[in-house]
Amino acid sequence: MDVQHSEIMLNIDNFVFPEINPIMYRQKLTTTTKPELEKILVISSYPPRECGIATYSQDLISALNNKFSSSLSLKVCALESGHKMIHYPEEVQFRLDTSQPNEYKKLAKAINHDTHIQIVLLQHEFGFFKNNEHALLEFLYELTKPVAIVFHSVLPHPTEQMKAQLKNIAGACESIVVMTNNSFGILSTDYEIPEQKISVIAHGTHLVPHLSEHFLKLKYDLKDRKVLTTFGLLSSGKSIETTIEALPAIIKKSPEVVFLIIGKTHPEVVKNEGEIYRDRLEQMVHDLKLEKHVIFINQYLALPELLEYLQLTDIYLFTTNDPNQAVSGTFAYAMSCACPIISTPIPHAREFLTKDTGIIFDFKNSKQLAEAVILLLSDDGLRRSISSNTLQSIVSTAWENSAAAHARLFEKMSNGKLKLKYDFPEINLSHLQKMTTEMGILQFSKVNQPDIESGYTLDDNARALIAAAMYFRLTKKKSTLHTISKYLHFIEYCMQPDGNLLNYVDKNKRFTEQNYETNLDDSNGRALWALGYIVSLAGELPSEFILLAEGLIEKMLPRIESIHSTRSMAFAIKGLSHYYDITKAPAISDLITVFANRLVQMYKHESEENWKWFEGYMTYANSILPEAMLHAWITTGTPIYKDIALKSFDFLLKHTFNENGIEVISNRSWWVKGEPAAKFGEQPIDVAYTIMTLSKFFDVFGIDDYKEKMTIAFNWFLGCNRLQQIIYNPCTGGCYDGLEEKNVNINQGAESTVSYLMARMTVEQYKKPTILQ
């Protein structure tokens, strides 16, 4: 891994709706002194030093800061070899010249003296401590703080001396981290390290926006080329010559091929032997007349540029000749960009590459490499399939997930001193905008690319209308009004002469046959909720929006009483209660009473001692039902509505919150009374609705447990869930479509993204003020 980390922040004032830019919203507050947090000290090489582990540590620290800045403080002890004048960033608190044995004791004393340092995280590579292993061991035993060590290399079949050395190091540490199951097996079997001491935390990968390959190839002057790429600090261990030797056979089949060799020569190689290896590669290119097919990019690229090169890559080639290389950052980066990968059989590749995610070939075997490249270049469908499978296979390794895994380890090691608190991400409408056309919001996406073929639904546009209006209410940004107008006029477009609303619209703005084959009561109920919410913002939104929403509600009223679907009535109650708050019309209160009484009768019919619910099963959007009863009580004052609201919501919460946080009812199979609840298939929309209902109950009753559960439920999006994986993608601003049995669904459709935004803006109002220094 040989890239530098780069951080880009866009100012909200530069944002022009509806262009696709991240929105960074932050409340400006009075400066207040922030209490000093407990420190985690990371001992590692660190940028600007050009080193894979340096970049790894910076990426990890950045991810930890993004997720847990209110819980912990990350500081660095930069490892150096020889005295150098290096200007480090402010997080570097200590330096250690690893070539000087006496420096180790001084560092241990300084760390022990700092009362705020709770845990030490040591990034270990044998080359760092060459000839000073004894000083390292003394240093570890000298420390009074618990140490977690990350082994970046784990060599199998060790000599007795190597085994004793590593066991001594491991013995001085409380926890051990490795990045692959293969390394875990070697440590436990070959080195006899207790398994309970070892954690496997995969090498982090970057979330990327998956930009258009065509656009990027134009940008980098690679139009109409098939691009093979490798990158990293250059050394003979990369075995780049294996690819160069394979190129003539590849070019014979695909003359449009170009091979990018990205990266400077490794600084240690330059120091010891100069540019001998690069010169040899360039001579090979010349001898084989490959000048038009090989490009050397002799730079240490900034992260954004590197990720763009990888996103335009057709095939990534990993040709290292070291069979014991446990893990590769360059390999991980390529996977994060969904590159089809052809690799030599290092443990990292054997663990992550299957026939569905890449191809493995033998070390230094140019013939096998050429055959594999030709196979992939000749089959676009296979390449696309491998790319898609690769992306799905590595989503769990995102830096955000790696950071959370490390943070949980720190919490465990702290013996109660460290209490993790997830930071709320900045509110980001980028993906919402990307999914929205002039007509409205599209229904589905393929990963994060809008799928125009999926068309539009009233359901999604009604929810999007609520989310956009919530955002406007929160920020007062006038640029949001255009988007609100789109969603509001989509509802108007769906209105039929009889006051009924159709739900399904294709990409050509035509109503589909599905409208006449499906019960649309739920869709109409959601639309009424959205319209009522808009009316409730009278005085905040433009009057023409309010008048249009009122007019649409009035068209719906003559037929709305005919709906009988449980959730349709609940959505309708929410919308009507908003409308009543403004109009105070007795007819609206009467309609709320009609629907609420129907729900009361359903509850009385189905509820019993161990089943306090409205139906003999639990399905989707369950929290809407107790919330609707609460709204009905607030509007009418009827005591039984309050009683049922509290009892049914308590029952729901009891069966959705557990040691994993929140686990909503599965969309695979509904939970039937008297039967075990189905597992897996958790949807963002159900979590979001639960958060919104908790908010309403907290506002009305002021019970802290509701507020605490709001935070627990929102953390589901941030990785505090059954799989301990993020559901919200902070890179795109989109939300993954669901939490399945063993993975997340990486598509980021309208329903999920809008649901996340509604949840995010709901919890925003309870967030403690941000302290700006």
Give the mean pLDDT of 617-628. 96
> Where residue 130 falls among pLDDT bands split at 50, 70, 90?
confident
**Structure tokens of 316?**
């990534």
**Structure tokens of 32?**
């207040």
Residue with tokens 């919104």: 692
Residue with tokens 């730079």: 299
pLDDT digits (tens, 9 = 90+) for 506-554: 999 999 999 999 999 999 999 999 999 999 999 999 999 999 999 999 9
Read out DSSP for 358-372? EEE--TT-HHHHHHH
pLDDT digits (tens, 9 = 90+) for 664-685: 998 888 899 988 887 889 999 9
18 pLDDT higher than 60: no
Residue with tokens 């509001």: 488
637: left (phi over 0), alpha (psi -120 to 50) or beta: left
**Per-chain mean pLDDT for the chain:** 92
Measured CA to CA, the distance from residue 684 to residue 681 in angstroms comes to 10
Give the mean pLDDT of 356-377. 96
**Structure tokens of 658?**
């557990």
**Structure tokens of 454?**
């999926």
Which pLDDT belongs to residue 684? 97
Query: Pairing relation of β-strands 39-44 and 73-80?
Result: parallel
Residues in the chain: 773
533-555 burial, b if ≥16 CB within 10 A, otherwise e?
bbbbbbeebeeebbebbbebbeb
Which pLDDT belongs to residue 7? 29
Angle at 508 between CA 503 and CA 514, to 5 degrees: 35
**Structure tokens of 1?**
């891994």
Give the mean pLDDT of 10-27. 30
Alpha helix (H) ranges present in 618-703? Answer: 624-636, 639-654, 684-701
Q: Which residue has the higher pLDDT, 365 or 85?
A: 365
The end-to-end CA distance of the chain, in Å, is 34
Measured CA to CA, the distance from residue 226 to residue 222 in angstroms comes to 8
pLDDT digits (tens, 9 = 90+) for 719-761: 999 999 999 999 999 999 999 999 999 999 999 999 999 999 9
User: Which DSSP helix (H) or strand (E) runs through 42?
Assistant: strand 39-44
Which pLDDT belongs to residue 4? 35
The answer to whether the CB of 724 falls within 8 A of the CB of 654 is no
Burial of 594 (0-12, 13-18, 19+ CB in 10 A): middle
Query: Pairing relation of β-strands 738-739 and 117-124?
Result: unpaired
Which pLDDT belongs to residue 354? 87
pLDDT digits (tens, 9 = 90+) for 542-577: 999 999 999 999 999 999 999 999 999 999 999 999
DSSP state of 727: S
Give the mean pLDDT of 689-717. 98
Which pLDDT belongs to residue 768? 62
pLDDT digits (tens, 9 = 90+) for 184-232: 999 999 999 999 999 999 999 999 998 889 999 999 999 999 999 999 9
Main-chain dihedrals φ then ψ at residue 728, nearest 5 degrees: -85, 135
Count CA atoms within 13 Å of residue 773 on its CB side: 3
Burial of 444 (0-12, 13-18, 19+ CB in 10 A): buried
The answer to whether the CB of 45 falls within 8 A of the CB of 123 is yes
Which residues are within 8 A (CB) of 709 and not within 5 positions of it... i.e. 6 or more apart? Answer: 653, 657, 662, 694
744: left (phi over 0), alpha (psi -120 to 50) or beta: beta
